[in-house]
Chain A
Amino acid sequence: MGTQIPIVDYLVLDPEPHLRVHECTACGARFFDRRNACASCSGTDFAPADLPAEGTVTAYTIVTFAAPGVEVPFVAAVLDCGGTKVQANLRDVTPDPDHVRLGMPVRLTTYSMGPDANGDEGVGFGFAPLEGALT
């Protein structure tokens, strides 16, 4: 078995799966992608910062019509994780409006995307409702 390769480099798998952002050391603005300078204050120094694995849903949509190769329906959402907005699909939830709600608490979850030609495993992530979230 090869190594695990996260779907994006801001998904950190060890020791527990979590998301890691680039935080501007001058103003605290947070970015998932590499930036040449901070979009907020133009500072150029960044330090890594870890996000909590739990958050709440602040916006969602259920996509039923998408580009070729994208499995539908799926729930796309924006989450608030400790004050940082995160984009992700919701997993382990029935994709209909009766099972997703604004304000719903969720937790990071990972899944296997299967092995590649080298035997390395791709690892994706999403957020699943916390137990009892809808009751």
Chain B
Amino acid sequence: MTDRDAIYILGISMTRFGKHPDLDTFDLGAEAATAALADGGVTMADVGVLAAGNLMGQGLGFGQGLQKQIGQTGIPVYNVSNACATGATALRTAIMALKAGECEIGLAVGVEKLAGAGLLAGGNRKEGDGTWSPKGRIGAIVATDGRIGTATMPGTFAQIGMEYLHQHAYGGAPFELFAKISEKNHSHSTLNPLAAYTKAMSLEQIMGDHMVAYPNTRPMCSANCDGAAAAVVVTGERLASMSDAQQRRAVKIAASVLTSDPWTDGCQVLPDVNTLTRSAATQAYEQAGVGPNDLDLVELHDCFATAELVHYDNLQLCEPGGAVDLFESGATWRDGRIPVNVSGGLQSKGHPISATGIANVWEVCHHLRGEAGDRQIEGARTGLAHVIGLGSACGVHILQAA
């Protein structure tokens, strides 16, 4: 029965992730948006707010540009930018507009063209004028990336994973541990026709591939690719007046939380992705009135194999410090106790950054509706979607079948 005070996902869609050389950002966004509207049985004329996320492409007014392709109806548009949490932030923006009573139906879209983008972040300061001249807030005389540690994403997240092992006195071989996490996600993506990569990889293949930043080899890093995802959200009150089919397929947003990172000792030298994620998860469980043991599946932000491990702990899927044991028990494989990233995750499904937050929700919704095809987690009733963005933001959504 529809909860009139709740907010629901009415329709949701994602494009195939991968290379789309012939499609631009608007093509991809329009494809996802119109498909999400059709999935929900509504049109742009019904939508009261648009929240649109895109980081690398169109500059000013991406949402307004998208409207020109799907319907300029005069509604408010929020252009959202929040690093890799952009999609989740767009979704949360639409949810907030509904909760505030501004409208009854909202559309959130996230799009990225990222195929072939290579390394993201790191220093790009040009070498100077031939003199050692201190500049900026640390008085640096050269670009510091690579000279004073690393600021690239693979290196940063490699250290985040290694720090976890150090804090919890892990004594094994870290390389193989993290490679096995990647093996799981690549295996899962074989069942996902929309994933960027759909080939299983053996441990030997993963460990023997190009090392990017130890212990992350290339297949253990998120796959830069093109893609879009969109979601239509609706108030419970409006949903109650809709068709039986719409009500049956609607997915309840039991919790929607966004956090940023509070100051912690050490966060200035290594971004702290833990505290803000733990905080988001704690708030989300409280909002939803469920605990980690109630979850039937989790889509979490495995931007690198090393990141997946720490988020097992941050999302409280295990006891504090127990992430390695949880993984080695097989619990997070698709036939395990708490399947994680059955879509293939960012490592294999792909990571078109602004689309990712909505795409993770898309995956969970499909299982809760019983529409996930070959990779369906049988009887899934409750799922969690998580993303983080460095900078720093964390979005957690808990979803429940109607």
Contact = CB atoms under 8 A, between A and B. Distances in A.
Contact of B166 (A30, A87, A103, A121): A103
Contacts of A39: 263, 268
Contacts, number: 165
Contacts of B155: 61, 63, 66, 76
Nearest to A30: B265
A9 B139 contact: yes
Contacts of A86: 269
B150 A60 contact: no
A35 to B, nearest CB: 8
Q: Binding site of B, secondary structure by majority: helix, strand, loop or mixed?
A: loop
B141 A7 contact: yes
Contacts of A70: 122-123, 145-147
B148 A8 contact: yes
Contact of A67 (B122, B167, B263): B122
Contacts of A120: 131-132
> Which interface class (under 10, 10 to 19, 20 to 34, 35 or more) fits A?
35 or more
Contacts of A78: 149, 159, 163, 266, 269-270
Contact of B266 (A34, A57, A85, A116): A85
Interface string A75-105: 0111000011111110000000100001100
A89 B131 CA distance: 23
> Which interface class (under 10, 10 to 19, 20 to 34, 35 or more) fits B?
35 or more
Interface string B131-172: 110100111111111111110101100111011011100000
Contacts of A58: 163, 166-167
B244 interface: no
Contacts of A118: 131
Nearest to A9: B139
A56 to B, nearest CB: 9
